[in-house]
Amino acid sequence: MIGGRDLLPRVASAIVLAAIAILGAWLGGIATAILVAVAAGIVHLEWTGVTEGSQRAALPFSVLIAVVMLVAGIGEVEIAAGIAVAAAVAAGVTGPRPWRPAGVVYAAVFGLALLILREGDLGLAAIAFVFAVVWATDIGAYFAGRAIGGPKLWPVVSPKKTWAGAIGGLVAAVIAGLATAAVVGLPLAGALVVVIVVMSVAGQAGDFFESFIKRRFGVKDSGTIIPGHGGMMDRVDGLVFAAAVAVLFGFLHSGATDVARGLISW
Strands (E), 104-188: 152-154, 158-162
Q: For residue 210, what is the enclosing H or E element?
A: helix 190-216
Residue 197: exposed, middle, or buried by beta-carbon count in 10 A (0-12, 13-18, 19+)? middle
Beta-carbon contacts of residue 191 (< 8 Å; ≥ 6 apart): 266
Q: Considering all CA atoms of the chain, what is the largest pairwise distance in Å, rounded to the nearest integer?
A: 51
Euclidean distance between CA atoms 264 and 122, whole angstroms:
8
How many other CB atoms are there within 10 angstroms of residue 256's CB atom?
12
Q: Is the pLDDT of residue 228 over 70?
A: no
Euclidean distance between CA atoms 139 and 247, whole angstroms:
23
Q: Is the pLDDT of residue 96 over 80?
A: no
Q: Is the pLDDT of residue 254 over 50?
A: yes
Degrees (nearest 5) of the Cα angle 119, 120, 121?
A: 135
CB 230 within 8 A of CB 222: yes
pLDDT at 95: 65
Beta-carbon contacts of residue 5 (< 8 Å; ≥ 6 apart): none
Give the tens place of pLDDT for each residue, 126-163: 999 999 999 999 999 999 988 988 889 888 888 888 99
Q: For residue 12, what is the enclosing H or E element?
A: helix 7-27
Global pTM value: 0.91
Euclidean distance between CA atoms 96 and 60, whole angstroms:
17
* Mean pLDDT on 152-180: 92
Give the tens place of pLDDT for each residue, 182-226: 998 777 778 899 999 999 999 999 999 999 999 999 988 888 787
CB 193 within 8 A of CB 264: no
Helix (H, G, I), strand (E, B) or coil at 226: strand
Euclidean distance between CA atoms 36 and 32, whole angstroms:
6
Give the tens place of pLDDT for each residue, 28-46: 889 999 999 999 999 999 9
